[in-house]
């Protein structure tokens, strides 16, 4: 894995920035297929005026981001469920204690 | 990724850049993708400007990782020092740290999730065993009381006597509930004698609602009982509030006794996860 980009001090600010339209289109494609085939990527690159490798890496990153978001979502849901279950647990404990007084 | 971050000197200042492309990813992700900036490649994928993107050596990475472990934020002096020591551009060090933080954040999230899942599973086990205890206690009480009252009596007679004689104050409601808790259970088991209570039972077989059911059934002598029984679900709420005062139950309304009414959002949350509303 490339762990760092070599940064030059070029005044090429923003040259790596994809245009909004490019991003829009890439996102649109991502919606239906997160792992496009080589040919698709090539076509995409041609259409958008990008290097195929750029497209490939965009998808790679996009998948990673998707995965992170999903984990985050799942985490929040689970947290919520956990808290609800914890409170239910407490109630049940108390109920059991109360019932216990009636048994012996 | 080229689309997400402009290549800019502000990287050195470790500031967050406005991201391009209209995506709404959180901060950490933007930083992460900075590392993958394609930086405008020429045909063979070589970086424009004649500099190849080279991987850092194993030793360089080791040193950076070590440094990162001590302190994951970089001040200018440390950055320069590291850059010198490792033979890298300061910019490279800065970017490496930025990316490293983003990677760390992702890993941390996964760690947190795994931990939460483990806690949740153990909580669930506890809950299930509590539920078992609950069931066995109820059964015990039922059996004890049915022995006490014998078989020749109508099972709803003691119920009616006790509830009719007493005034309908909240205190006596509570007494009723404690005293008649067990007398209800034969009813519910048979689903017979008292038509009102069996209606409740039919509505909701969830045993965790048993106590709540008792609450409602206890009030069937009250004038509004007809209205209550007509809509058993809605009836739970007002009665539940009264009993809260006596701390019989936990006053926490999020405990889903009245799951359908109270917490529609939770049902949405549950999806295929632990189903709090029905899985008792």
A7-61 residue pLDDT tens: 444 455 545 789 999 999 999 999 999 999 999 999 999 999 999 999 999 999 9
Which residues in chain B are closer than 8 Å to A8, comparing Cβ atoms? 47, 49, 51
pTM higher than 0.95: no
The band of A72, judged by pLDDT with boundaries at 50, 70 and 90, is very high
- Please indicate whether residue B28 or residue B86 has the higher confidence score (pLDDT): B86
Q: Which A positions 25-84 lie with beta carbon below 8 A of chain B? A: 26-27, 51, 53-54, 57-58, 60-62, 64-65, 68-69, 71-72, 74-75, 77-84
Q: What is the ipTM of this complex?
A: 0.78
Mean pLDDT of B82-95: 93
* Cβ–Cβ contact A10 with B under 8 A: yes
Mapping DSSP onto H, E and C, the string for B136-190 reads HHHHHHHHHHHHHHCCCCCCCHHHHHHHHHCCCCHHHHHHHHHHHHHHHHHHHHH
A42-57 residue pLDDT tens: 999 999 999 999 999 9
User: Which of B23, B36, B254 is nearest residue A87 as measured by Cβ atoms?
Assistant: B254
Q: What is the mean pLDDT of chain B?
A: 62
Eight-state DSSP code of residue B3: T
Contact B164, B151 (CB under 8 A): no
Pick among B21, B44, B86, B272 to test the A interface (most A CBs inside 10 A): B21
Which residues in chain A are closer than 8 Å to B269, comparing Cβ atoms? 77, 80-81
User: Which of B23, B36, B48 is nearest residue A23 as measured by Cβ atoms?
Assistant: B23
Whole-number pLDDT of residue B54: 79
Distance, in Å, from the CA atom of A13 to the CA atom of B11, rounded to the nearest integer, reads: 11
Distance, in Å, from the CA atom of B225 to the CA atom of B13, rounded to the nearest integer, reads: 70
In degrees and rounded to multiples of 5, residue B223 shows phi and psi of -60, -40
The band of A69, judged by pLDDT with boundaries at 50, 70 and 90, is very high
Distance, in Å, from the CA atom of A49 to the CA atom of A38, rounded to the nearest integer, reads: 16
Distance, in Å, from the CA atom of B225 to the CA atom of B211, rounded to the nearest integer, reads: 17
B37-49 residue pLDDT tens: 444 455 444 555 4
pLDDT reading at B173 higher than 60: no
Contact state of B7 with A16 under an 8 Å Cβ cutoff: yes
User: Which of A23, A74, A85 is nearest residue B274 as measured by Cβ atoms?
Assistant: A85
- Please indicate whether residue B112 or residue B171 has the higher confidence score (pLDDT): B112
Mean pLDDT of A77-81: 97
């Amino acid at each position: 894995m490339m762990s760092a980009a070599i940064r030059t001090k070029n005044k090429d600010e923003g040259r790596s920035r994809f245009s909004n339209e490019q991003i829009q289109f890439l996102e649109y494609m991502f919606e239906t297929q997160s792992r496009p085939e080589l040919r698709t990527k090539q076509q995409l690159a041609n259409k958008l005026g990008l290097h195929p490798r750029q497209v490939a890496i965009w998808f790679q990153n996009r998948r990673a981001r998707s995965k992170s978001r999903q984990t985050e979502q799942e985490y929040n849901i689970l947290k919520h469920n956990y808290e609800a279950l914890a409170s239910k647990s407490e109630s049940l404990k108390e109920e059991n204690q109360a019932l216990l007084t009636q048994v012996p | 990724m080229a689309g997400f971050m402009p290549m800019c000197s502000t990287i050195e200042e470790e500031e967050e850049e406005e991201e391009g492309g209209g995506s709404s990813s959180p901060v950490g992700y933007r930083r992460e993708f900075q590392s993958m900036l394609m930086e405008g490649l020429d045909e063979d994928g070589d970086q424009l400007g004649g500099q190849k993107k080279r991987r850092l050596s194993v030793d360089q990475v080791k040193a950076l990782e070590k440094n990162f472990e001590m302190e994951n934020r970089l001040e200018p002096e440390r950055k320069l020092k590291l850059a010198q020591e490792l033979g890298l551009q300061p910019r490279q060090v800065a970017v490496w740290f930025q990316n490293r933080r983003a990677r760390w954040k992702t890993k941390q999230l996964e760690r947190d999730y795994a931990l939460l899942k483990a806690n949740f599973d153990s909580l669930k086990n506890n809950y299930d065993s509590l539920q078992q205890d609950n069931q066995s206690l109820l059964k015990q009480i039922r059996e004890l009381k049915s022995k006490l009252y014998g078989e020749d009596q109508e099972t709803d007679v003691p119920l009616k006597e006790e509830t009719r004689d007493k005034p309908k104050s909240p205190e006596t409601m509570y007494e009723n509930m404690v005293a008649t808790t067990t007398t209800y259970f034969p009813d519910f088991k048979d689903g017979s004698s008292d038509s009102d209570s069996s209606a409740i039972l039919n509505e909701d077989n969830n045993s965790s609602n048993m106590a709540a059911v008792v609450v409602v059934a206890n009030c069937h002598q009250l004038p509004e009982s007809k209205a209550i029984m007509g809509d058993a679900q809605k009836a739970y709420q007002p009665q539940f509030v009264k009993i809260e005062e006596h701390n019989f139950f936990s006053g926490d309304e999020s405990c889903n006794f009245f799951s359908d009414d109270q917490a529609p959002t939770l049902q949405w949350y549950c999806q295929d996860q632990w189903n709090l509303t029905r899985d008792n």
